[in-house]
Structure 1
Amino acid sequence: MKRHLPCILLFLIFSTNPLFPQKHLLPIPTFSDTIESWSDSILHTLSFDERIAQSIMVYAYSDKGIRHEVEITDLIRKYKIGGLLFFPGNPEKQAELTNFYQSQSSLPLLIATGAENGPGLRLDNVIEFPYQMSLGAIQDDSLVYQLGIEIAKQNKRMGIHMNLIQVADTNSSPDKTAMYMNGMQESGILATTKYFPGFLAGYDLLLFSEDVPVTIEEIKKAIANNLITREDIDNKCRKMLEYKALAGLNKYVPIRMENIGKNLNSLSAQVLNYKLIENSITLLINKDRIIPVKRLDTTKIATLFIGSEHLTEFQETCNKYTRITNFNRTEKTNDKQQEKILQQLDSFNLVIVGLGNLSQHAYRNFGITDDTKDFL
């Protein structure tokens, strides 16, 4: 009786939430006399409302049209907000808008994005590096550090000063996480971590403000009710200005527009991405030492890809090694078609299964449905 030996190649990329021990926390940066002098000189020129506004960042998009751009410009000119948080869009357009918004602001804007695996997470046609769970599988920690450096390089090319990393967990490895963030910070990018939309009152930045004037008035009410003090506002504004200077905004230079796409997708970025993926592939179980597959000339092999009705890159790659018969199954495959696939697979010595349409979320069972499990 012939055995079916399914080899399932899964690229599961997801995040976990351990609390890192204190010893792994990154050091709080200190500011030079030059930075402190610059921030104090700016602070004394600001009205109280403007000091509040320096701690406010608002959403900015590069693909929402002229009405959105006018709204952002008005907030910059009228309220002197502290910065912008860019989300999905086009790299060239975002760079163009960043230069324009900076030109409209009397103070340099702190530009942020939320891209734990690089600007490619948010921007079209930009290389996207592996997610954090994959990084946790890499044994060579220096590659994770190099990734932090490369992401910092990409962000700086886009005029981005802060990377709000939603999830930095590298497979419950705080040391890797620290190396990843150190790579960014040592290259001049401010790096934050964890679930930044959940920041509570008492932090130095207010993100996602949907109504800047109302936000300012509510903070002033909090002062009137003795919940916070004017000194608190001054300290937060001063810190915001110090971080701007730390990011180089005390010597602001506009983004150079030439070759942005080429620079973001540099050869060094592509080589690093290949190394990261190669080093993250993990063999969990190798029953009967079936991997590497031997006797390619005599073993009758089939691939079954679940999640696509078309021939996948996974199957095409398998076909480069030997003659292989390919099968596909999707959620549209009915019971009769499923039974036919199983009957056909019965004649093969080895069936290699690939899964697609996976999720990085555990609460979704990583995209593996009960129907898929039953079929396997």
Structure 2
Amino acid sequence: MKKLIPTLLVLLFVVLSCDKKQTVNKSSENTERTKWVDSIYNTMTLKERVGQLFMIAAYSNKDQQHTDDLNKIIKEHGIGGLVFFQGGPVRQAKQTNLYQATSKVPLLIAMDAEWGLNMRLDSTARFPYNMTLGAVQDNDLVMKVGEKIGEHCSRLGVHINFAPVVDINTNSKNPIIGVRSFSEDKYNVTEKALAYTEGMQSQNVLACAKHFPGHGDTDKDSHKTLPTVTLSKERIDSVEMYPYKKLFKNNMAGVMVGHLNVPSLEKNDGLPSSLSHEIVTNILKGRLQFKGLIFTDALEMKGVSTFKEPGDVDLAAFKAGNDVLLMGEDVSKGISKIVEAYDNKEVTEERLAHSVKKILASKFDVDLNNFKPIEIENLISDLNDETNDVLNEAVFIDAITALKNDNILPLKKDANEKIAFVGLGDGDSAAFLNALKSHFEVDGFSDLKLPELLIKLKTYDKVILGYHRLNSRLTKKISDEDKLKIEEIAKSNKVVLDVFASQYSLENLDFENIEAAVISYENTDIAQKVSAEIIIGNKDTKGKLSASLNENFIAGTGIEILE
């Protein structure tokens, strides 16, 4: 069989398997760790201790005023860390070095890098979305993705990755989770999350499972409003919390609590889960016995920010049991409110020390007790070596899923047939079409109205329909126009449908007249090239649907083409 990148694949796995850094999970009884934590804590003022609870947003694509403002906040309020968003790696590294030099206590640096640094930064590698990883049958590949992402975070001076998402996406209309979830199946989510976490934490980067107690069965976006989870507490315990229970037994470093209204768990209807003492302290810390860092989701999100005034939200989140307060609307007010509550004996010294010492211990665990500035030289090349593409290719080889094949695939090069390609959707299809053309003659068609297209295709033996979505994260159904084209072409032609988008996009499609259907999940050049290799028989399909697209093609569906 032909291989796209032959020897590098073996080399990558050898290197990744051997080049392990020290894991983040160290014994809580570590004397050196305890001494360092106590030495820092005992020299801090009350305001400085409270400041450690806060992490605020940082951007490396903003102007000097943004940098100056952050430096001022770090100096005046002694915050515990930063969450970086949009920008570039060199700019972020330079800013991180500046902020670390300003801070009295080393800062924890965090990012949302669920599918790699590219989720936020230019000039960096992107790895497959969780829903694509959910289709993979070899969980060792998922571990290697986590490992590679951890390697990149570590190189950039990022200590916490707010990943993996362990929400179980049982609602196909979920507007915010979707392909960020590994699957609709709790066992698959758990297996993938365990593998991803093991890989990432092997690189001394803290993982953070989110969004507790479960954002998968919602149809609202907590950035914009407070979603309600109508599930029973028995269902939440057996399904939504299942991954957390397993992860907690395997050294998960952190958990992020979502902004959700969960009436079955919190009797005060409308109280966000992130502000619920019952959910954060009694359930997460008490019943589930989680000992790691507990983060709120961003406190500026509408799912929580409309509940209380700035400052009051931060205090409520801390009283609920959270350790780290992310991105409040006013850090100064938040610190003042918690200091005032401490002075009024609403917050005890024991409660404050519990969270602050956990934060300092995490800083020790990621070697911030021996902070060294990030090396700028070779940063871009280190983050973009050839092993990224090799790993991406290996994932797509294992993930791409065949749903149907009525003796049409693989297409035979010597069959002397006329083959047409029709590109649909708003995404680029060039890599796919060029890969097909490198094996046999294919005539490409695009931008034709349906009547004209049907006439043109009458003279062809087989038609390959490629649905290419510009934004593979979108889970909305394909357009009525594209749906009609697929179904009408399939009525009068032998059709191979290859979908470079979420399987959810095909929820409303009639497959009856389609001879072969392949889900390639994402519209990347690598996915397109691997899928072309599958269509011509140089590779087989191994993947299984991570989530159902309709009652005929449910989670776990997937067939081999080469039998």
Contact kept, 8 Å, 2:164 with 2:207, in 1: the verdict is no
How many Å apart are 1:338 and its aligned residue? 2.7
Cross-structure match for 1:249 = 368
Pick closer, same or farther for the CA change 1:185–1:310 going to 2, 3 Å. closer
Cross-structure match for 1:229 = 348
More off after superposition, 71-80 vs 165-174: 165-174
How many Å apart are 1:345 and its aligned residue? 1.6
Cross-structure match for 2:358 = 239
Contact kept, 8 Å, 2:116 with 2:149, in 1: the verdict is yes
> Which has the higher relative contact order, 1 or 2, with Cα contacts under 8 A spaced 6 or more apart?
1
Contact kept, 8 Å, 2:419 with 2:460, in 1: the verdict is yes
Contact kept, 8 Å, 1:307 with 1:328, in 2: the verdict is no
Q: Structure 2 regions of 5+ residues with no counterpart?
A: 1-23, 167-180, 212-255, 260-273, 276-316, 487-563
Pick closer, same or farther for the CA change 1:324–1:159 going to 2, 3 Å. same
Pick closer, same or farther for the CA change 1:264–1:204 going to 2, 3 Å. same
Instruction: Give the secondary-structure state (helix, strand or coil) at the position aligned to 1:57.
Output: strand
How many Å apart are 1:218 and its aligned residue? 2.4
User: Which of 440, 444, 449 is equivalent to 1:326?
Assistant: 444
Alignment size in residue pairs: 340
Cross-structure match for 1:342 = 454
Match runs of 1:240-279 below 5 Å: 240-279=359-398
Provide the C-alpha distance between the structure 2 equivalents of 1:76 and 1:155, rounded to a whole number of angstroms.
22
Cross-structure match for 1:179 = 195
Provide the C-alpha distance between the structure 1 equivalents of 2:341 and 2:436, rounded to a whole number of angstroms.
63
How many Å apart are 1:307 and its aligned residue? 2.2
Pick closer, same or farther for the CA change 1:61–1:241 going to 2, 3 Å. same
Cross-structure match for 2:496 = none
The superposition leaves residues 290-316 of structure 1 with CA deviations (integer Å, 9 ceiling, x where unpaired) of 121125441111111112487622111
Contact kept, 8 Å, 2:90 with 2:380, in 1: the verdict is yes
- 1:65 has 2:63 as partner: yes
Provide the C-alpha distance between the structure 2 equivalents of 1:295 and 1:313, rounded to a whole number of angstroms.
19
Instruction: Give the secondary-structure state (helix, strand or coil) at the position aligned to 2:402.
Output: coil
User: Which of 292, 295, 301 is equivalent to 2:419?
Assistant: 301
Q: Could you tell me the TM-score, scaled by structure 2's length?
A: 0.58
More off after superposition, 302-311 vs 69-78: 302-311
Provide the C-alpha distance between the structure 2 equivalents of 1:369 and 1:253, rounded to a whole number of angstroms.
52
Q: CA RMSD in A?
A: 2.1
Q: Could you tell me the TM-score, scaled by structure 1's length?
A: 0.85
Cross-structure match for 1:372 = 482
Provide the C-alpha distance between the structure 2 equivalents of 1:282 and 1:311, rounded to a whole number of angstroms.
19
Q: Which amino acid aligns with 1:39?
A: V
Match runs of 1:1-376 below 5 Å: 30-31=27-28, 32-165=30-163, 167-168=165-166, 169-171=181-183, 172=185, 173=188, 174-195=190-211, 196=256, 198=259, 199-200=274-275, 201=317, 202-223=321-342, 228-286=347-405, 288-308=406-426, 312-329=430-447, 337-357=449-469, 359-362=472-475, 364-365=476-477, 368-376=478-486
Q: Structure 1 regions of 5+ residues with no counterpart?
A: 1-26
Instruction: Give the secondary-structure state (helix, strand or coil) at the position aligned to 2:464.
Output: strand
Instruction: Give the secondary-structure state (helix, strand or coil) at the position aligned to 1:143.
Output: helix
The superposition leaves residues 145-203 of structure 1 with CA deviations (integer Å, 9 ceiling, x where unpaired) of 11111111110100000001262442231112111111111221100021345344221
Pick closer, same or farther for the CA change 1:72–1:309 going to 2, 3 Å. closer
The superposition leaves residues 346-375 of structure 1 with CA deviations (integer Å, 9 ceiling, x where unpaired) of 22111111112254354x23xx12332122
Cross-structure match for 1:10 = none
Percent identity, aligned pairs only, is 35
Contact kept, 8 Å, 1:311 with 1:328, in 2: the verdict is no
